[in-house]
Amino acid sequence: MGREIPNSLIAKSLAGKCSAGEQAELERWKEQNCENKKIFSQMEKNWDFLTPENYIPDIDKALNKVNGRLGTQKPRTFNFNRFWVGAAAALILGLGFFSLYTQTVRKAKIITIDTTARLSPREIVLPDGTFVTLGKNSTITYPARFSSKERKVKFHGEAYFKVTPDARRAFIVLSGNTVTKVLGTEFNLKSVTGDSIVRLTVTKGLVSFNTGGLNPNEEIRVAAGEVGELHALKGEIKKFKNTDPNFLAWKTGVITFENQLLPDAVKTLSEYYNQAFALSPGLDTVSFTTTFDSLTVGQVVENLKIILNVNIELKSGVYVLSQKL
């Protein structure tokens, strides 16, 4: 006699509500023979076809209705080694699952988090356990519960993603004209209004990065220590080795310069503090090494005066660095 699996367990799996133990039990049943795999595969196809995007089934309520129609007070089971169970499966697929999809689903709550008014990063946890650190002026939109097939979010701004591994459901980020797709990894993504460049920096794992609506077939694989960039105006996507030690400064508050040329350093400082800097002639070839840890722009200016032995004056909102006479 074959193993019996309750229809409620199959429904919970398709809805993504199984516990680890329940999912393991279902996997053992599927591996028992090819017929079980075929039956589950067909149920999964019907589920995905009938379930509207961003909808969440109320499993308990649906099963109660189905079981009530079948005239029983507890969930029936499928014994797939008996002929009559084929009729039971057809009934569940034809009536029970249809009722589950169309009569008892409720529209998933869509959550949007905006950090426009914040000066410091904000950490959030998505429904699958993925950690996201949002930079200022960033927006992320996602469902209160991800679907059984994928985990999709929309994002704009800058954020660091630490994605919870899930081999069955890819994690997908739609940002600008790009699509970032992973199973479980860590990366920084930057997509800013007015900037035609979307930049992906991977710190762990392997990430699929493509141009989305511009050219869906143009895809690159970005590994840890690499950067993927989309130049929207050119419709060009490329990757290269990450050489920027400060790409996470917005998150950590730490800015490091090691034998850094001053023009490149002030560019980094301008971006981090949203404050303009300018150099007087004669400073283009100056380099220095230092680390700023959670300092205000005023504190950085005072440190630079000492480190570089220069004058720094604020003129019309711009910090101007000049050589001492």
Read off the tokens for 309: 């032995």
Q: What is the pLDDT of residue 46?
A: 56
DSSP 3-state percent helix, strand, coil across the chain (nearest 5): 30, 35, 35
Answer yes or no: are the C-beta atoms of 240 and 226 closer than 8 Å.
yes
Q: What is the mean pLDDT of residues 304-312?
A: 93
Give the position of tokens 């950590």: 252
| Residue 237 β-bridge partners | 230
Give the position of tokens 């007070």: 73
Nearest to 166 by CA among 180, 144, 153, 181: 181
Helix (H), strand (E) at residue 267:
helix 262-273
Q: What is the pLDDT of residue 80?
A: 41
| Residue 70 β-bridge partners | none
- The percent of residues above 90 in pLDDT, for the chain, comes to 48
Question: DSSP string covering 118-184, please?
Answer: -SS-EEEE-TTS-EEEE-TT-EEEEESS--SSEEEEEEEEEEEEEPPP-TTSEEEEEETTEEEEESS
Q: How far apart are CA 63 and CA 58, in angstroms?
A: 9
Read off the tokens for 63: 């099963």
Give yes or no for residue 96 having a pLDDT over 50. Answer: no
pLDDT band for position 299 (cuts 50, 70, 90): very high
| Multiple choice CATH, 253-323, 3.20.20.10, 3.30.160.100, 3.40.47.10, 3.55.50.30 | 3.55.50.30
CATH architecture of 110-241: Sandwich (2.60)
Lowest mean pLDDT among 30-34, 84-88, 164-168, 182-186: 84-88
Give yes or no for residue 298 having a pLDDT over 90. Answer: yes
Domain map of the chain by residue range?
A: 5-106, 110-241, 253-323
Mark 254-272 as b/e (b = at least 16 C-beta within 10 Å).
ebebeebebeebbebbbeb
pLDDT band for position 213 (cuts 50, 70, 90): low
The pTM of the full predicted model, rounded to 2 decimals, is 0.65
Q: How far apart are CA 107 and CA 295, in angstroms?
A: 46
Q: What is the pLDDT of residue 279?
A: 93
69-85: pLDDT as tens digits: 444 444 444 444 443 33
Q: Taking all residues of the chain, what is their mean pLDDT, rounded to a whole number?
A: 79
Exposed/middle/buried for residue 190 (C-beta within 10 Å: 0-12, 13-18, 19+): buried
Give yes or no for residue 134 having a pLDDT over 70. Answer: yes
Q: What is the pLDDT of residue 184?
A: 79
Nearest to 251 by CA among 163, 142, 122: 122
Give yes or no for residue 268 having a pLDDT over 80. Answer: yes
Q: Dihedral angle at the C-alpha atoms of 229, 227, 240, 222, nearest 10 degrees?
A: -100
Answer yes or no: are the C-beta atoms of 221 and 206 closer than 8 Å.
yes
Question: Do 110-241 and 253-323 come out as alike in CATH topology?
Answer: no
Give yes or no for residue 288 having a pLDDT over 50. Answer: yes
151-170: pLDDT as tens digits: 999 999 999 999 999 989 99
Give yes or no for residue 110 having a pLDDT over 50. Answer: yes
pLDDT band for position 143 (cuts 50, 70, 90): very high
Q: How far apart are CA 47 and CA 105, in angstroms?
A: 12
Answer yes or no: are the C-beta atoms of 177 and 214 closer than 8 Å.
yes
